[in-house]
Amino acid sequence: MSPTLYACAYAAEFPTQALLRLRPDLQSEPVAVLEGRLPLELVCSMNKQARLKGAVPGMKRMEVEQITGIRLVTRSLESEAAARSVFIECSAHFSPRIENTSKQMDCACVLDIAGVERLFGPPEMLAQRLRASLAAAGFRASIAISANFHTARLKALSSRTVTVIPSKQEAIALEKLPVALLGLEEEHAETLAMWGIRTLGELAALPEIDLVARLGEKAKLWRDLARGTAQHTFQPIEPEFTLKELTEFDTPVERSESLLFVCARMIDCLVARAASRALSLASLTIQMQLEGGFIYRRIIRPALPTVDRKFLLKLLQLEIAAHPPQSAVLQVVLIAEAGQSKKVQLGLFSPQMPEPSQLDVTIARLKAIAGEDRVGSPVLEDTHRPGSFHVESFAVVEEIKNTQTDRPRAALRRMRPSLPARVVLRADKPTAFRAAEQRFTIKAAYGPWRTNGCWWSSDGWDAEEWDVLAQPSNGTEVACLLVRDCTQNTWRLEAFYD
């Protein structure tokens, strides 16, 4: 086996593929992509259906509009950049060394696959698996494998299937390919055409010395490329792993059903990309560009990281229903944050806990009814104000076990709402009180504990707390908390000590 082995993955008509990979409703229709400014828009890319109807690159908008049945869309550089990142990310699953050879209108990368046979099998099997992985991400790609870097690249550009070139047969595999694949300058291409050189095999058969003498030093590289012997210094990249999907609409979308139809495909891609790295989605951010220059942004955080597509789509549906966009949608971006799935081992006699997905859906529905700030987990605020707290988003956290020895502790059981009380004072100290139509005699009183704050605003407070040991009429003893509101000079029974 050759010490070097390369696999090239090439996606033709990439502007069209980048726009259609997340639009299953358009994949079966003839689509042509336009670029440029009105009225000089030209066709830069198209799918197979549009080509069969007679569309060709370079046609003007008015010309292609005369062909019935072709859907015209505008080229999106943002969609191409996002799709190119996904293409390289999927290819990088098969080799840690990958070089990006993409051009303006195409997307291609070359993988150094020498030594990965034990992981993915022989080259034929690796090529099939690579093509299937790209197809699952929404790309139609051709794969070529060769011991020469440039041979694999040129063969992938000219084919639409999987090709494995045996070692020492690079020239035979390239001999019928057109010279145009080399990307020669117009002057040199015309010279070769005048000589009758149309294929790489004809170029490789020319004598090297005479060719260099007439066309210069570059001609030696062209000849080596045609013979499959050109050398190359591999320049690997480190693809950044970012869970992001972007879709632009050719017409503004107003109906939420159409929007969710596209978002479902985007969520499928995000989940598949995360699952390929044994990860889950910990959060999902949706950002939409609206008509009028508005930006819509919402964040969805499940209680636990998940890869359930239907569950994430349901949360997204509830979020959009609770907070609808202000106007029609022009662009949708989904950004996910990766996380690790957690599994909990339940005991044999432990109570059954609700499914995290059902819990998240229930919380989302409660937020739509009660409000965002009224559903979640209560968190005490760093203040002396009695009963001051705020609500944060609910999240499942691991239980922290207490390693200290068990000691008798008093629990404060607050009354909701607190009970009004009438207190008898003696020497500014409570001696008896009446609450809930019952009289209590105070045996011991400790206090007062005074707290106050925000005296400069209307929501200020000034309170005086007493811990008392009281005895009701039935003879039992209870420990309770009495609070006096000094601003209104009123007493309330706030809590009991258990």
Domain extent listing, the chain: 6-168, 169-240, 253-339, 412-497
Going by DSSP bridges, is the β-strand pair 142-146/162-164 parallel, antiparallel, or unpaired? parallel
Bridge partners of 286, per DSSP, are 298, 334
Q: For residue 45, report the phi and psi dihedrals to the nearest 5 degrees.
A: -160, 160
Q: Residues with Cβ < 8 Å from 286, sequence gap 6 or more? A: 263, 296, 297, 298, 300, 316, 319, 320, 332, 333, 334
* 229: DSSP letter: -
Half-sphere exposure of 289 (CA within 13 A, CB side): 11
What pLDDT, on a 0 to 100 scale, did the predictor assign at position 179?
A: 93
For the domain with range 6-168, which CATH number is right: 3.40.309.10, 3.30.43.10, 3.30.70.270, 3.30.1490.20?
Answer: 3.30.70.270
Q: Residues with Cβ < 8 Å from 235, sequence gap 6 or more? A: 99
Quick check: 498 and 413 in contact, CB under 8 A? Answer: yes
- The letter for the amino acid at 489 is N
For the domain with range 253-339, which CATH number is right: 3.40.190.80, 3.40.50.20, 3.40.50.620, 3.30.1490.100?
Answer: 3.30.1490.100
Q: Residues with Cβ < 8 Å from 91, sequence gap 6 or more? A: 9, 98, 109, 111, 130, 133, 134
169-240 has which CATH code? 1.10.150.20
- Rounded to an integer, what distance in angstroms lies between the CA atom of residue 266 and that of residue 268? 5
CA dihedral 116, 121, 126, 132 (to 10 degrees): -130
- Rounded to an integer, what distance in angstroms lies between the CA atom of residue 465 and that of residue 449? 5
The residue whose two tokens read 């007439």 is: 214
Sheet holding 6-11, edge to edge: 98-100, 107-112, 6-11, 142-146, 162-164
Helices (H), 57-181: 61-65, 77-91, 117-120, 123-136, 149-158, 170-174
Going by DSSP bridges, is the β-strand pair 71-74/31-35 parallel, antiparallel, or unpaired? parallel
What pLDDT, on a 0 to 100 scale, did the predictor assign at position 355?
A: 67
What pLDDT, on a 0 to 100 scale, did the predictor assign at position 482?
A: 92
Collapsing DSSP to helix, strand or coil, 200 comes out as helix
Quick check: 488 and 419 in contact, CB under 8 A? Answer: no
253-339 has the same fold as 169-240? no
What pLDDT, on a 0 to 100 scale, did the predictor assign at position 343?
A: 62
- The letter for the amino acid at 463 is A
Q: What averages of pLDDT result for each successive group of 10 residues across the chain (498 residues)?
A: 85 92 87 88 92 92 91 91 92 92 89 91 94 93 95 93 93 94 90 93 92 91 94 88 89 89 92 90 93 92 86 91 91 92 63 68 80 81 80 66 61 87 91 89 90 82 90 87 90 90
Q: Name the token pair of 220.
A: 């030696």
- Rounded to an integer, what distance in angstroms lies between the CA atom of residue 53 and that of residue 64? 10
